[in-house]
Amino acid sequence: MTFLSYLISGISLGSIYAIIALGYTMVYGIAKMLNFAHGDVIMVGGYMSFIAMINFGWPPLLAVLFAIVVCTVLGILIEQLAYKPLRSAPPLAVLITAIGVSYFLQNAALLIFSANPKSYSSVIPFDALRLFNGQLVISGTTIVTIIVCIVIIIALNTIVNKTKIGKAMRAVSEDKDAAQLMGISVNKTISVTFAIGSALAAVAGVLLCSAYPILMPTTGAMPGIKAFTAAVFGGIGSIPGAFLGGILLGIIEILGKAYISTQLSDAIVFAVLIIILLVKPTGLLGKKVLVKV
Amino acid sequence: MRSLRLRSNIDNLLTYGLVIIAYIVMRILITSGNISSSLQGQLVPITAYIVMAVSLNLTVGVLGELSLGHAGFMSVGAFSGVITATLLTDTIPMTWLRLALALLIGGLIAGIFGFLIGIPVLRLQGDYLAIVTLAFGEIIKNVMNTIYLGYDANGIRISMESANALQLAEDGKVILNGPMGAIGITKLSTFNAGFVLILITLFIVLNLINSRSGRAIKAVRDDKIAAESVGISSWRYRMMAFVTSATLAGAAGALYALNYTTVVARKFDFNTSILVLVFVVLGGMGNIRGSIIAATVLTVLPEVLRAFNEVRMLVYAVILILVMLVRNNLTLRQLFQKIGIKRRNSLANNKEGDDS
């Protein structure tokens, strides 16, 4: 029974990683850039919902919406100001700019909200679920996190595969120039991708803070790195891959913490990643790219 | 070919000259007392970061692979250097010799780690290689955080549990104390030692780049398949660059750690790797002199920005973004070219521009 409860909390943590990883993977798939500021957008989402609930006294649902709107606008703003001028620059220049944006967001948060950790009250009002005569307790946050993750995956899959903008996204990720020639606005498509990614980051921020209720300017950094790992794990650029990678990473982390060593849990996660990449160098569901000579 | 060699020789002399002049200027400032104490405290870290930046440039600029875990090698070098220096306290009374040995051992052990990590890492390429170096960096940080090491008359003891589990005798001394890091370090590093380490690093890296092996490394970077088809072993030369880079990072780590009384493993985390990467990219990929300047300027910058007080890191971030935007702005680039400011080392810059 304890194993089952560990497994469920692993899936719940994995769901959060998966939602963040989706943002990474979509941006990577379309703009071919590693957006290292993504983790800090999560933190902004956490703070925005916190302010809305505590300072404005808004109901949780409205607070979540507020966080989503702010992060979406922020995502588009970052893209327009920092990444768009670098569209033709070498990838490393974009990477460093993303790191600059990450520093900026962290330090802005440090100035506005101070370094003192804020204790976040969960936005999820449901009671914990008790099964098998109370032997297995699943908190409301856990259930909602998993459900939200599944809904997001289904919605994203529909958007990417069934809608016109999704088609544009796939086209841009396949070949930017050819897409442009077909009349697709590449800039608009990239902006939409950033908007979706940032909205997802806001949701992830709220869920993360609900599950681990400590909010600091550096809250997003480690989950950001781990979600990035999850995206690579599943094959970067692939949406189902990000989902699978996130869930697996969450399960490995929680089980590693429970059965092997609390201090070494991160090391275990990364060791598994290395092994996977050695066996499948493009991740679990990644496309194999053939190099023509 | 001859003119190319001549130009690279002049270029190298310029790099050495820059370092030596900077050193002399700093020495004069120190003797005449015209230097703030905060900047003086930064001198050894600056030299360590310069070595880090030059060594990472070997991986990122010359070998052309993105490494996000360079601080991991710094960490290995730092802790093995500290252990060496502490163990040799009684055997070798000369501090300079102890420091030299600590840097040497720190570098060697980091080099061995570089080789072991290189075996899996160099099988991959591009972003996947980057993420695996990140993973190794995090693993090293995590493991270093759990090691307890001490010594007494009976020898060295290691534990993964706690300092008490070492069961040291009365006269024993704990060197590594798990999450508390290395404690009770005797400060050995000096600005002079840092200067010498920079010169050694430059000697190794510049000679490697301009040697037959260096050209092979660059050939593998530019086109692996073409290089292999003319008989260049890509594995061998990639490994050569990676291990050299790791070794120098280890020596830099030992220099850095021996400048403080305590050093924690968390210091050498992902952020430090990124910081060094920023030095390399801002200085110009493959441009060694650029790395030296960028490392110095960006380490001193937060100190200079103290006038801005609380917003200084914010200003730092804005400067970083603006520099990247300006450097990669096409109109501005063309403008610079028109008025004749051509940057030297065109080889490295061309490579950077072609990447996209």
pLDDT of residue B2: 63
Count: domains in chain A? 1
Nearest chain B CA: its distance from A224 CA (Å): 12
Q: Which residue of A has its CA nearest to B229?
A: A293
CA distance, residue A135 to nearest chain B CA (Å):
32
Does the beta-carbon distance from A270 to B136 stay under 8 Å? Answer: yes
What integer pLDDT is reported at residue B346 of this predicted model? 43
**Cα distance between residue B5 and residue A88, in whole Å:** 32
Query: What pLDDT was estimated at residue A181?
Result: 92
- What is the tens place of the pLDDT at every residue in A39-76? 999 999 999 999 898 888 888 889 999 999 999 999 99
Check pLDDT > 60 for residue B151: yes
pLDDT at residue B299 is higher than 50: yes
Question: What is the pLDDT averaged over residues A214-236?
Answer: 86
Residue-level pLDDT at B338: 67
Is A223:A20 a contact under the CB 8 Å cutoff? Answer: yes
For residue A289, tell me if it sits in a domain: no
Whether A287 maps to a domain, the answer reads: no
Contacts of B123 in chain A (CB under 8 A): 278, 281
- Classify the complex by whether its ipTM is higher than 0.85, answering yes or no: no
Decide which of B309 and B304 is more confident: B304
> A6: distance to nearest CA of chain B, Å?
22
pLDDT tens readout for residues B89-146: 888 888 889 999 999 999 999 999 999 999 988 888 777 888 889 899 999 999 998 8
In a domain, A286, yes or no: no
Question: How many CA atoms are closer than 13 Å to the CA of A27, on its beta-carbon side?
Answer: 32
A292 within some domain: no
Q: Which of A79-83, A183-187, A210-214, B258-262 has the lowest mean pLDDT?
A: A210-214
Give the CATH number for residue A48. 1.10.3470
Chain B residues touching residue A217 (CB < 8 angstroms): none
Q: Look at B183 and B109; give whichever has higher pLDDT.
A: B109
Sketch out chain B's domains with CATH numbers. 2-145+181-354 (1.10.3470)
The residues near A91 (Cβ < 8 Å, ≥ 6 apart) are: A32, A33, B355, B356
Q: For all residues of chain B together, what is the average pLDDT?
A: 85
How confident is the model over A2-26, as a mean pLDDT?
90
Q: What is the pLDDT of residues A80-97, one digit of tens each?
A: 988 888 888 887 788 888
Pair B64, B234: CB distance under 8 Å = no
Angle of helix A186-211 versus helix A2-31 axis, rounded to 10: 160
Residues 254 to 313 of B: which have CB under 8 A from any A CB?
270, 274, 277-278, 281-282, 285, 310-311, 313
Q: What is the mean pLDDT of residues A152-172?
A: 91
Partner A contacted by B41 (CB < 8 A): no
C-beta pairs of A51-56 under 8 Å, 24+ apart in sequence: A53/A121, A53/A123
Could you tell me the pLDDT band of residue A104, with boundaries at 50, 70 and 90?
Answer: very high
**pLDDT for A111 beyond 70:** yes
| Residue B352, min C-alpha distance to chain A (Å) | 7
Say whether residue B66 is in contact with chain A using an 8 A CB cutoff.
yes
Q: Is B144 on the interface with A (CB under 8 A)?
A: no
Give B-chain residues touching A270 at CB under 8 angstroms.
134-136, 138-139, 142
Q: Please tell me the distance from the alpha carbon of residue B83 to that of residue B175, in angstroms, as a whole number.
A: 7
Query: Which structural domain range is residue A85 located in?
Result: 2-279
> Which chain B residues are within 8 Å of A36, Cβ to Cβ?
274
Of all residues in chain A, the one with the smallest CA distance to B315 is A104
Residues of B in contact with A261 (CB under 8 A): 146
Compute the mean pLDDT over every residue in chain A, rounded to the nearest whole number. Answer: 87
pLDDT at B301 over 60: yes
pLDDT tens-digit series, residues B193-208: 999 999 999 999 999 9
Q: What is the share, in percent, of chain B residues with pLDDT greater than 70?
A: 92
Per-residue model confidence as pLDDT tens digits over B47-57: 999 999 999 99
Partner-chain contact A274 B136, CB within 8 Å: yes
Residue B340: predicted pLDDT: 57
% of chain B surpassing 90 pLDDT: 42
Does A284 reside within a domain? no
* Residue B348 pLDDT > 60: no
Q: Identify the pLDDT of residue B310.
A: 72
Mean pLDDT of B31-46: 84
The answer, yes or no, to whether residue B349 has pLDDT greater than 50, is no
Using a CB-CB distance cutoff of 8 angstroms, which residues of chain A are in contact with residue B270?
A: 225
B117 compared with A284, residue with greater pLDDT: B117
Rg (CA), chain A: 19
Instruction: Specify the pLDDT at position A293.
Output: 59
| The token pair that represents A106 in the structure block | 């962290």
Over residues A162-166, the mean pLDDT reads 91
pLDDT digits (tens, 9 = 90+) for A233-248: 888 888 889 999 999 9
Q: What's the one-letter identity of residue B91? A: T
